[in-house]
Amino acid sequence: MKPRHQRFLLITAGVAVLAIAGMFVLNAFQSNLVFFFTPTQVSKGEAPQGRAFRVGGMVKEGSLQKDGENVQFVVTDFAHDVPVSYKGMLPDLFKEGKGVVAQGKLSADKQFSASEVLAKHDENYMPPEAKHALDQAEAAKAAQSAKP
């Protein structure tokens, strides 16, 4: 093989490897994006069925029920509620009346079954998604009451 051919082969192989790697990265990326929805969006049916997403807001006061590892609680943005079920140990800072973000799927009966309840690192810290949900609901309310 002439050196020129060899270099050509090397470059072609390199480009091919990069293209395959790129395709495969973008494919994995596409299927693993987890979108965020507010409780209002979820109850309006904007959230996807059968695909994992995140929902965030406040844990509704008095909604927490524990039965061993099975946990039920309600996430609210004070406009709409989403019931959540979860199996496992809750993070240290999980409390009623505090912000929370849960990741999971929506089942047929509008029950959100969480695979992950996100831990917080600081008692004063509010998950940004939860805060976003509350702000959205607040803004929607303000807009509604402003209407005559």
Q: Could you tell me how many residues of this chain bind other proteins (CB under 8 A)?
A: 39
Within a 10 A sphere around the Cβ of 75, how many other Cβ atoms?
A: 28
Torsion of CA 94, 96, 101, 103, to 10 degrees: 80
Give the containing element (helix H, strand E) for 99.
strand 99-106
User: Does 64 participate in binding other proteins (rule CB under 8 A)?
Assistant: no
Could you say which of 21, 23, 107, 110 contacts other proteins (CB under 8 A)? 21
Does 77 sit near other proteins (CB under 8 A)? no
Piece of the chain touching other proteins by CB under 8 A; list 43-51, 57-65, 76-84, 117-125: 117-125
Burial class (CB in 10 A: 0-12, 13-18, 19+), 24: exposed
Residue for token digits 């470059």? 11
Q: Is residue 54 close enough to count as binding other proteins by CB under 8 A?
A: yes
How many Å apart are CA 79 and CA 43, to the nearest integer?
10
Q: Give the nearer residue to other proteins in terms of CB position, either 9 or 139.
A: 9
Q: Which of 23, 48, 125, 138 binds other proteins (CB under 8 A)?
A: 125
Residue 107: C-alpha distances to residues 15, 37, 71, 83 (Å):
44, 15, 16, 11
Residue whose structure tokens are 């989403």: 82
Q: Which of 45, 48, 97, 128 binds other proteins (CB under 8 A)?
A: 128
**Residues found near other proteins in the complex (CB under 8 A):** 3, 6, 9-10, 14, 17-18, 21-22, 24-25, 28-29, 32-36, 52, 54, 66, 68-69, 87-90, 92-93, 103, 119, 121-123, 125, 127-129, 132
